[in-house]
Amino acid sequence: MAHLVTLIAGDGIGPEVALAAERVIAATGVQIEWERVELSGDRIRATGESLPADVVASIEKTKVGLKGPVTTPVGGGFQSVNVALRKKLDLYANVRPVKSLPGLHTRFDDVALDMVIFRENTEDLYSGLEHEVVPDVITSIKVITRTASTRIARAAFRFGSRHLRKRVTAIHKANIMKLADGLFLRCCREIAADYPHLIYNELIVDNASMQLVTRPEQFDILLMPNLYGDILSDLAAGLVGGLGVAAGANLGDHHAVFESVHGSAPDIAGQGKANPTALLRSSVMMLEHLKEMEAAKRLQQAIEYVYREGDSLTPDVGGTATTDQFTAALVRFLKS
């Protein structure tokens, strides 16, 4: 039986990495019926809709989406597509695994990193509540609620329990934002009490940032509000090779969207230089979500094999291969 999945290729290098993902997933033997919808900067500018209705309707029907990068303007223009999609479908959990790849050289070659970031996805400063009080004086409101804090904490602890993790670390700035981050911590502590077999601790966000780049191997699951999660998930991705190899999932109670978290890289679009690894690692998460566990395992093994061998890697990770050559190497492994 085929799984029905929405495919959002995006723009820039999006169509190239999306095509690679289609080819590689097909090679696992899993049957996917793709429902393709267009979501790009050009379409948004032409229609004036940051989140066209047909995109939302498709994911509401399929319940699962695979999404390439979509260009978002900085300092003006239309609203972030990612933020709009997360709010519209209540995708409250942003889950970002941070795991070392064999053969990919980083500053932490001597440490096998394996942590998972759980970022609350719907509120905090991303609520978009901004106001110009008087000319050149802006307020931006940080929103923290018990409902959102409790459900992201529960998602993190549930994941830790199911995947035999050992520790959950809540990241905060409650020494300064005593009410907002204080509420977030109270919710985390309440959920932690239901999982006594998992170690629970807390770190102030600036201290956590320092420790991530000095002793990242100590971390297992990191749990945090939206803004800290946005920043620290990118920092953590840098420890294992950058956003080009970082997976990401946006999960709700009824829908899930798996995405590459890097930008659209229009400067290399169409040149055969795009690295599909991020979207492929997100595809591993998608296959697990679809209960295709064996296929997910084989895809993960294929990615690790190609990186370990090192002769089919794209330029951004030190190789000379094209997008097509990298994809072909994965397909050969999966069909062998």
- Active-site residue, 305 included: no
Q: Look up residue 175 and give its two tokens.
A: 């020494």
Beta carbons of 259 and 294 less than 8 angstroms apart:
no
Which residue, 267, 276, 282, is CA-closest to 322? 276
Cα distance between residue 11 and residue 42, in whole Å: 8
**274 token code pair:** 């795009």
Question: How many C-beta neighbours within 10 Å does residue 111 have?
Answer: 14
Could you confirm whether 200 is annotated as catalytic?
Answer: no
- Residue 38 CA to residue 59 CA, distance in Å, equals 12
Whether 206 is catalytic = yes
Q: What is the C-alpha separation between 323 and 272, in angstroms, rounded?
A: 5
Which residue in 92, 200, 230, 307 is the catalytic one? 230
Q: Could you tell me if 56 and 6 are in contact, meaning their C-beta atoms sit under 8 angstroms apart? A: no
Cα separation of 284 and 171, whole Å? 27
Going by C-alpha positions, the residue among 10, 65, 82, 43 that lies closest to residue 264 is 10
Classify the C-alpha dihedral 283-38-32-120 as positive or negative. positive
Catalytic member of 11, 63, 173, 228: 173
Options 206, 253, 267, 311, the catalytic residue: 206
Structure token digits, residue 162:
């199911």
Would residue 126 show up in a list of annotated catalytic residues for this protein?
Answer: yes
Active site residue: 87, 92, 124, 126, which one?
126
Answer yes or no: are the C-beta atoms of 272 and 326 closer than 8 Å.
no
Catalytic residue among 234, 273, 316, 324: 234
Q: Known catalytic residues?
A: 126, 173, 206, 230, 234
